[in-house]
Structure 1
Amino acid sequence: MSLQIYLAGKLVPQEQAVVSVFDHGLLYGDGVFEGIRVYGGKVFLEKEHIVRLYESAHSIRLQIPITPDEMIQAVRDTVAANNIVDGYVRLVVTRGAGTLGIDPARTSNPQVIIIADTISLYPKEFYDNGLKLVTASTIRNHSGALSPRIKSLNYLNNIMAKIEGADAGTVEALMLNHKGEVAECTGDNIFIVKGGVLKTPPPDAGILEGLTRNAVMKLARDAGIEVREAPMVRHDIFIADECFLTGTAAEVIAVVSLDGRTIGSGKPGPVTAKLLDLFRQRTRA
């Protein structure tokens, strides 16, 4: 049975879920999106994701044709129509069809697309043994050019860094900002543990403020762990006691080496394990 895709206000079989080749989302990456997890049939952090979607759209002057409450209901309906218990939702809003020029004033009919499907996670051995990272030569987009807080359809910056990681035999790559500071990975935020303190780059380092990142920071503080947002360089990761990534798909996953330098014991550490356990309790509550 084919997936039921929400498109233009109704659910249609995936074979019928098509948009114009003149849609600016396709031609120019002109649109916004969210990736959302479903646990036990419930949409995780649904309000937070919808708020971020509408904030991203507002920032690029894209008028979403339905209200936030209608969007939440559309997401729930799509999840239910596809019998998703544990899975992933991709929510996309494009500028709509226009001309071959970039002028958004010549577009019309913004498209809301919701896909709910199962999710392919990292293998269990990655959580047991941790990831190895390399630093990409592709830097994070300068925040003065495009705010990293806008979750836009143009992900080429991250894709180029992802290719570098794949070429080096890793599933993720670290991205630095224009100042040479640690920003984030291609699809995840990064944390280190040093002397019992949890540290992560601040928003002005050029990161997307991940919702999983924020949830983990709250869980850590509630557990009595000191959390600091502070600029970091690669050296801070090299000498960390522990390192881990957070993301919608990854949840919480350890990093055991960067650019050939072993981090801590070279195995997932106790703080990482604790936060992964707390996060999984939170998502399955």
Structure 2
Amino acid sequence: MTTSPLLQYAFFEGEFVPSDQAKVSIATHALQYGTGAFGGIRGYLDNDGRTINIFRLSDHVQRLLHSGRLLRAELPYSADDVCGIITDLVRRNAPRHNVYIRPFIYKASLQLVPRLTGLKDELAVYMIPLDDYLDLSKPVRLMVSSWQRIEDNIIPSRGKVTGGYINSALAKDQAAEAGYDDALMLNEHGEVAEASGANLFIVRNGTLVTSPVTSDILEGITRRSIVEFARDAGIPVEERSIDRSELYIADEAFLCGTGVQIAAVGSIDGRPIGDGQRGPITEKLQDIFFTLVRGGDSPYRHYLTRVPIE
């Protein structure tokens, strides 16, 4: 993953401001208690070099606002308002490279009580340059973490709630320290949930399989797109529980998400997946995805919000 400093402008406390002026107090409630919700949105530089293609902007914004509802956040912005703020921010920054856009809702009050109501809610948005989060030139190596995935009655996994991501951080660190690229987590039933920051698909006998949204996973937008792409391409899809042992006998596996995009998995717990290389179904879905986001000929161009940057 390569990141750079924030792009020049951010949206903060209702205004577009220089990013270095978008600051909160050390006493901010969200900083103390993790009472925030965030989104992750990619903008890809189009093949024409003059346009940023934002992938499924309205879907990302709707999920952000749903995550905010879990925190009982009350904002003066509609979904259309937030989409407009994001596209305006892209135009103001006018990047000539791929970008990652981070909108987030947070409890902005300076208060010590761990609660959700009676607090001020704010929306902020910033941008950074971002190419690959994981190295897509080679299959990634995963391990099954000893850390269990948070479940819905503890911290709702379907929401991108900031405090819940300590769960991901613990698993990610464990994997990195053991020499792996990322971690997979099991849910309370011992079934496969997802990676530290991505959904998982496996392939069994030509069928694409992924855990259902009731398995304590994030309701991934890239995941939803992959299911659509696969079915349209004639690839059977099953959304069902996955046992840990089923990982080891899969023909293919890949991670997907805004950050990782579509990353082929070469091994899990040191066991090769298939022949340890990117499989044909993974390759086909990668081609569909990257052709779309880079502005190529695609039946899914309606998923792009195209922002001119001239």
Question: Shorter-chain TM-score category?
Answer: over 0.9
2:239 aligned partner, one-letter code: E
Match of 1:153 in 2: 162
Match of 1:64 in 2: 75
Contact 1:82 / 1:117 at 8 angstroms: preserved in 2?
no
TM-score (norm 2): 0.87
2:225 aligned partner, one-letter code: A
1:37 aligned partner, one-letter code: R
Equivalent of 1:73 in 76, 84, 104: 84
How far does the alpha carbon of each residue in 1:154-198 deviate from its partner, in whole angstroms, 9 at most, with x for none? 110111001111111122111111111000000110000111000
> Does structure 1 residue 26 correspond to structure 2 residue 31?
yes
Task: Give aligned-pair identity as a percent.
Answer: 37
> Does structure 1 residue 12 correspond to structure 2 residue 24?
no
Count of residue pairs the alignment pairs up: 282
How far does the alpha carbon of each residue in 1:115-140 deviate from its partner, in whole angstroms, 9 at most, with x for none? 112114146xx433201111111110
Unmatched 5+ stretches in structure 2: 1-5, 47-51, 296-310
Contact 1:54 / 1:64 at 8 angstroms: preserved in 2?
no
Match of 1:182 in 2: 192
Instruction: For 1:97 and 1:162, locate their aligned partners in 2 and report how far apart those are by CA, in whole Å.
Output: 31
Give the secondary-structure state (helix, strand or coil) at the position aligned to 2:95: coil
1:46 aligned partner, one-letter code: L
User: RMSD across aligned C-alpha pairs, in angstroms?
Assistant: 1.5
Give the secondary-structure state (helix, strand or coil) at the position aligned to 2:110: coil
> Does structure 1 residue 83 correspond to structure 2 residue 88?
no
1:151 aligned partner, one-letter code: K
Give the secondary-structure state (helix, strand or coil) at the position aligned to 1:246: strand
Instruction: For 1:277 and 1:69, locate their aligned partners in 2 and report how far apart those are by CA, in whole Å.
Output: 30
> Does structure 1 residue 164 correspond to structure 2 residue 169?
no
Match of 1:99 in 2: 111
2:100 aligned partner, one-letter code: Y
Match of 2:152 in 1: 143
User: CA shift at 1:284, angstroms?
Assistant: 2.5
> Does structure 1 residue 241 correspond to structure 2 residue 255?
no
Equivalent of 1:42 in 42, 53, 73: 53
Equivalent of 2:202 in 169, 192, 202: 192
How far does the alpha carbon of each residue in 1:240-282 deviate from its partner, in whole angstroms, 9 at most, with x for none? 1001000102111110111111110111111100100011122
Residues 234 and 2 from structure 1, CA distance in 2 versus in 1: closer, same or farther, beyond 3 angstroms? closer
Contact 2:35 / 2:162 at 8 angstroms: preserved in 1?
yes
Unmatched 5+ stretches in structure 1: none
User: CA shift at 1:22, angstroms?
Assistant: 2.4
Residues 65 and 27 from structure 1, CA distance in 2 versus in 1: closer, same or farther, beyond 3 angstroms? farther
User: CA shift at 1:12, angstroms?
Assistant: 1.2
User: Using CA pairs below 8 Å that are at least 6 residues apart, which structure has the higher relative contact order?
Assistant: 2
Match of 2:231 in 1: 221
